[in-house]
């Protein structure tokens, strides 16, 4: 997670915090499944590298306690298999993809999931 996120009352914005606002922290997930957690919010790029089909699940608000409306999760699929975005228990996902509730991402494509309401996320980007 980028240094300084999420901020709480009383935090001071340092030069380091400010400079990190423009940089992504890159994480790599190589398994067939991955569930988004609080450390994936804000300036984080989740890079998936599995050659087989894989699924990234958006966890419910009870797990993503740091997610507020406007929080974003960014994913790039570097593996050769398709990546699907799945909804955790009680979560609603919508997108312009062929399957609105379960968008897919081909190799070298990027998507962003944005929280628009409680347990409600919209997916944008290079989805199918």
Who's near 94: CB < 8 A, 6+ residues apart?
A: 100, 101, 120, 121, 122, 123
pLDDT band at 30 (very low <50, low <70, confident <90, very high): very high
Q: What is the average per-residue pLDDT within 2-27? A: 72
Residue 10 pLDDT: 83
Residue 1 pLDDT: 39
Q: What is the average per-residue pLDDT within 86-94? A: 96
Q: pLDDT per residue over 64-87, tens digit each?
A: 999 999 999 999 999 999 999 999
b/e burial code for range 10-23 (CB count within 10 A of at least 16 → b): eeeeeeeeeebeee
Which tokens is 118 given? 């409680």
pTM: 0.82
């Amino acid at each position: 997670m980028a240094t300084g996120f999420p901020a709480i009352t009383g935090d001071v914005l340092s030069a380091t915090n400010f400079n990190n606002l423009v940089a992504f922290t890159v994480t790599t997930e190589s398994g067939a499944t991955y569930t988004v957690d609080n450390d994936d919010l804000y300036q984080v790029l989740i890079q998936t590298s599995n050659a087989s089909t894989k699924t990234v699940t958006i966890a419910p608000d009870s797990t993503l306690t740091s997610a507020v409306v406007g929080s974003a999760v960014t994913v790039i699929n570097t593996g050769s298999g398709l990546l699907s975005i799945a909804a955790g228990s009680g979560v609603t996902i919508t997108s312009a993809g062929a399957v609105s509730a379960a968008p897919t991402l081909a190799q070298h494509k990027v998507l962003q999931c944005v929280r628009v309401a409680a347990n409600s996320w919209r997916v944008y980007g290079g989805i199918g």
